[in-house]
Structure 1
Amino acid sequence: MNVRVFASEQEAAATCASLAAAAIREKPFLVLGLPTGRTPLNVYREMVALHRRGEVDFSRVTSFNLEEFLGLSPDDPGSFRAYMERHLFQHVNLAPERIHFLDGSAEQAERECIRYDARLAAVGGLDLLLLGIGSNGHVAFNEPGESLQTASHRERLSRESRHAMAAFFGEDVSKVPLAALTLGMGALLRARRVILLAFGADKAAAVTAMVRGPITTRCPASFLQLHGNVEVWLDTAAGRGLETSRE
């Protein structure tokens, strides 16, 4: 893992957006894996700004989001699809037919996961994957446990994850769904390039376990140690447990 500690979250976010824009200019048909939650918000703002300045064209990019709450329809304000519309999709020229999402309202979750994996396989997998990390070490919604699943699947959300998502439900954790559909570890580890972002002191322990700790299902992000092209971009608070130099 190549670890970079930035002076601020904003600096890391701007650098990440610029890297994504450069990757799209180099490969206009890029397949991009996109996360949700608080961590990527500044990255999406920077991507929108770059697009408005004419520095990046998303028209031929294909996107796959990593997760969706189970039981929420795409137009539910609490859904991750609605989140992406608010923060990125409606502000850039991503073609609607190139936007891919797990459908949390699908009647058969298992069949929906199989459909999603098949669609991702059909385009050759992810070229560039942007990731966050949960305070408990989860990536996408692959939660710590006795085992991890390689394929997309239904996942019961941990208490930590539901509390982290409460801000998107009026700070009422009782409104956060109990489960989600998520890409599995296989799709994440097959991505050709991974940029993992982590900001804030509450992520420091998970970042240290991911980078310095053993590879264990108790910290799903630790499996990224097996990947040959992972960059971990942090602010100073998230990187305080690591011996790295500030960029």
Structure 2
Amino acid sequence: MEVVIAPAEELAVLAADAIEALLRRDPAVVLGLATGSSPLKVYDELARRHREEGLSFARARGFMLDEYVGLPAEHPQRYRNVIETEIASRVAWPADQVLGPDGLAADIPAACSAYEQAITDAGGVDLQILGIGTDGHIAFNEPGSSLASRTRIKTLTAQTRVDNARFFDDDVEQVPTHCLTQGLGTIMQARHLVLLATGRQKAEAVHQLVEGPISAMWPGTVMQLHPHATVLVDDAAASRLQLGDYYRQTFTSKPGWQGL
């Protein structure tokens, strides 16, 4: 696992560099898309490169990490709409090439199986963008999730609903109680995991993710088993890391040709 500690704007550039390198090498790359606050600066940077430098997503495919269950199709916080607003529409990404779990499906288990199959049929995810919750969840794999889990329905914890209330007029009662999410086993099959975290409220989760024992109580710790995982954090989110100085030294002396 590589840990990079830098200001949020620099982290966004590093993540966008990794995505651009993939797109330049293979325009039909498969990207994993996260919602929430963590990836927004990355999406802003990718939109800028599309607008000013011609970075093309015309042949790329995208798979969303998760989706709320039961939100109407037109609801602005439905994750398919959030992804459309924050990235897809800004880079002229064809709508039929960006897929998400169907939170309005009549048969939820079948929809989850179909989503897993769609990812497999696409050849798997090349680079998966991730954030992390204050309780250590990635996607909506809440504490206690199986480290081998696949796409499925999950009940959101009270803490996650409180954290997400800011997207629902600060009214926790508007936040759905269920979601569909890629499982930890699904996420771990992506070829490169890139997790972004900023702010002191993420410091304990980042500490556990990077330096704690692998445990279902901190689901993100499963990333320690991945052969190509990158954790991008600002100083505040890195404030609990015991080896912070070493991570800084390692990145400073890293050969320029390596990239993330």
Q: TM-score with structure 1 length normalisation? A: 0.96
Q: Give the whole-Å Cα distance in 1 for the aligned partners of 2:2 and 2:51.
A: 31
SS of corresponding position for 2:166: helix
Q: Give the whole-Å Cα distance in 2 for the aligned partners of 1:22 and 1:145.
A: 36
Q: Look up the equivalent residue of 1:244 and give its one-letter code.
A: G
Counterpart check, 1:123 vs 2:122: yes
Number of the residue aligned with 2:152: 153
Count of equivalent residues: 246
**1:185 CA drift (Å):** 1.1
Would you say the 8 A contact 1:62–1:99 is kept in 2? yes
**1:149 CA drift (Å):** 5.1
Number of the residue aligned with 1:78: 77
Number of the residue aligned with 1:48: 47
Q: Look up the equivalent residue of 2:190 and give its one-letter code.
A: A
**1:10 CA drift (Å):** 1.6
SS of corresponding position for 1:3: strand
Number of the residue aligned with 2:198: 199
Unaligned runs of 5+ in 1: none
Q: Look up the equivalent residue of 2:40 and give its one-letter code.
A: L
Alignment of 1:26-65 (within 5 A): 26-65=25-64
Number of the residue aligned with 1:4: 4
Q: Look up the equivalent residue of 1:212 and give its one-letter code.
A: E
Against the structure 1 CA distance between its residues 72 and 163, is the aligned structure 2 distance closer, same or farther, given a 3 Å change threshold? same
Q: Give the whole-Å Cα distance in 2 for the aligned partners of 1:23 and 1:131.
A: 17
Deviations 1:82-102 (A, max 9, x none): 111111111112122211111
- Greater mean alpha carbon deviation, residues 75-84 or residues 171-180: 75-84
Unaligned runs of 5+ in 2: 253-260
Deviations 1:181-237 (A, max 9, x none): 000111111110111111100100001111111111001100111101001000000
Q: Give the whole-Å Cα distance in 2 for the aligned partners of 1:13 and 1:146.
A: 29
Q: Look up the equivalent residue of 1:68 and give its one-letter code.
A: E
Identity %: 37
Would you say the 8 A contact 2:147–2:185 is kept in 1? no
Would you say the 8 A contact 1:17–1:46 is kept in 2? yes
Q: Give the whole-Å Cα distance in 2 for the aligned partners of 1:229 and 1:134.
A: 21
SS of corresponding position for 2:188: helix
Alignment of 1:86-97 (within 5 A): 86-97=85-96
Number of the residue aligned with 2:187: 188
SS of corresponding position for 2:113: helix
Q: TM-score with structure 2 length normalisation? A: 0.91
- Greater mean alpha carbon deviation, residues 69-78 or residues 26-35: 69-78
Number of the residue aligned with 2:255: none
Q: Give the whole-Å Cα distance in 2 for the aligned partners of 1:53 and 1:18.
A: 15
Would you say the 8 A contact 1:155–1:181 is kept in 2? yes
The Cα RMSD (Å) is 1.3
